[in-house]
Chains A and B, each alone.
Chain A
Amino acid sequence: MRGHRHEPNRFVAIVLALAAFAVQAQGSAVDEIAKYRAALQDGNPAELWEARGAALWKEKRGPKNASLEQCDLGRGAGVVKGAYTELPRYFADADRVMDLETRIVWCMVTLQGYTEADAKKGPFGGPDRKSDMEAYVAFVTSESRGIRMNVGQSHPKELEAYRLGEKMFYFRGGTHDFACATCHGEDAKRIRLQDLPNLTQKAGAQKAYTTWPAYRVSQGELRSFQWRLNDCFRQQRFPELIFASDASIALTMFLARNANGAAFDAPAIKR
């Protein structure tokens, strides 16, 4: 499993080569970045996380020495196929709306006997440790590839989460007065050369949401949607978003439902 570690170096070399192109003219630099992104699609190290997650899913673990195979992700115990396209959703057993990561924590507690605190430990991988959560997420989401997003709103708590998430998307705060909408509320904007999806429009929300989680070449890690929100808020100059917090679930509900109708296409690969 260490094989992927050398991959980022090769990509860094490509990035540096492209930086040289960028000096010539911005137009061609943008073209070259598009070519670079296209080249990345050929072989995605996310497959390593998917495989590890699939194996871990079946492994007997925790105080109860049980696997996650009977975890109910919303389509019934043991059904993984397509489950991600209907998340977040209301779960009657927990009497609350849960996103994928929150539900996996629930299953680790109820099936495997972990404490909630232990189940939530180390949700994001780094250079010195792998995250089991990101592996689970890679496996479960890969089982929804090609299936259309279909997040519901039949339960009042689902509607409430959506409305709260919408408000949070427009909530301006911090030292810089930034909201999610500051960067993701208009078409065809960018930060430096990075294109920004307009998440208030259907097309933008669909394209963005259906390509997370993703293998981030610049980090050599597979990143979950919880990570995506966490790092957006860091750059927004907010304090740290707590993993699997109510705000993270509400925002995910808002963004996931806005992507309804689009075919899910992740784990993807991004720069």
Chain B
Amino acid sequence: MAPSTALAFAVAVAAAAAAILVGCATVPSDAEVSAKAAAVLKASFREQGQAKLDRLTQDDTQKTCSEYSGKALPKDVAERIEKENLASIQWPADGKYLGDWKAGERIAQEGRGMQYSDDPKVPAGANCYACHQLAPQELSYGTIGPTLYQFGKVRGYTAEMRKYAYGKIWNAEAYNACTNMPRFGHRGILTSQQVKDVVALLMDPDSPVNK
């Protein structure tokens, strides 16, 4: 190869290498797109009523579950999320888990709560029927979650099951990482007493759910 040809070849190789590098630099990685999406979201909302901009700041569970949305969740990641959330559950000081199922039914029916259009002074509902079948009298129920009809009757009216139901409603991520279900106690949507009332709707033998 003549020196001039070799030089031209070297220049061509260098140019191609530079083009590849530039090409790589202009295609952002998945993590970069995620970070930019979070930043663009923050700039695209304004606070309204009770919904402030801090609702766009993700906690570790939200961030991790967003990342793995639509993909298989690795076992170790799922275990970490469940462990962290389980550790944060505030169990009732009096050790009692069963409230009033009639109050629980009202909470399960109530769809208002935490939207910027809702009155923050009115206690929030859990809107269980939006996603679950519960009492068979209610025909207007959703299907995002499984049916909970005969929840207690099928599983047994045991102390362990009452505690599990309380924990699940308080923080569902403790039992099923990246579930669609909100963490009603953990995120301050429901009070401890409201959670107990919904537990009673599921676990009281007199509740229509168990008829």
Task: List B174-196 residues whose CB lies under 8 Å from chain A.
Answer: 180, 182-183, 187-189
Q: Mark A102-128, 1 if CB is under 8 A from B, else 0.
A: 000000000000000000000000000
Query: Which of under 10, 10 to 19, 20 to 34, or 35 or more describes the interface residues of A?
Result: 35 or more
The answer to whether A173 and B69 touch across the interface, beta carbons within 8 angstroms, is no
Task: List B35-65 residues whose CB lies under 8 Å from chain A.
Answer: 36-38, 40-41, 43-48, 51-53, 55-58, 61-62, 65
- In the complex formed, the residue of A with least CB distance to B129 is A192
Interface of chain A, main secondary structure: mixed
Across the interface, A192 reaches (CB within 8 A) one of B36, B38, B114, B140, namely B140
A194 neighbours in B (Cβ, 8 Å): 142
With contacts defined as CB atoms under 8 Å apart, how many contacts are there between chain A and chain B in the complex? Answer: 143
Q: In the complex, A142 Cα to B37 Cα: how many Å?
A: 32
Give A28 Cβ to nearest chain B Cβ, in Å. 10
Tell me, yes or no, whether A189 is within 8 Å of chain B by CB. yes
The answer to whether B144 and A183 touch across the interface, beta carbons within 8 angstroms, is yes
Residues in B lying within 8 Å of A, measured CB to CB: 26, 28, 33-34, 36-38, 40-41, 43-48, 51-53, 55-58, 61-62, 65-66, 69-70, 114-117, 129-131, 139-144, 173, 180, 182-183, 187-189
Give B60 Cβ to nearest chain A Cβ, in Å. 11
Tell me, yes or no, whether A72 is within 8 Å of chain B by CB. no
Tell me, yes or no, whether A164 is within 8 Å of chain B by CB. yes
Q: Mark A235-248, 1 if CB is under 8 A from B, else 0.
A: 10111111001111
The answer to whether A172 and B56 touch across the interface, beta carbons within 8 angstroms, is no
The answer to whether B139 and A179 touch across the interface, beta carbons within 8 angstroms, is no
The answer to whether A242 and B69 touch across the interface, beta carbons within 8 angstroms, is no
The answer to whether A247 and B40 touch across the interface, beta carbons within 8 angstroms, is yes
A182 neighbours in B (Cβ, 8 Å): 144, 180
The answer to whether B37 and A171 touch across the interface, beta carbons within 8 angstroms, is yes
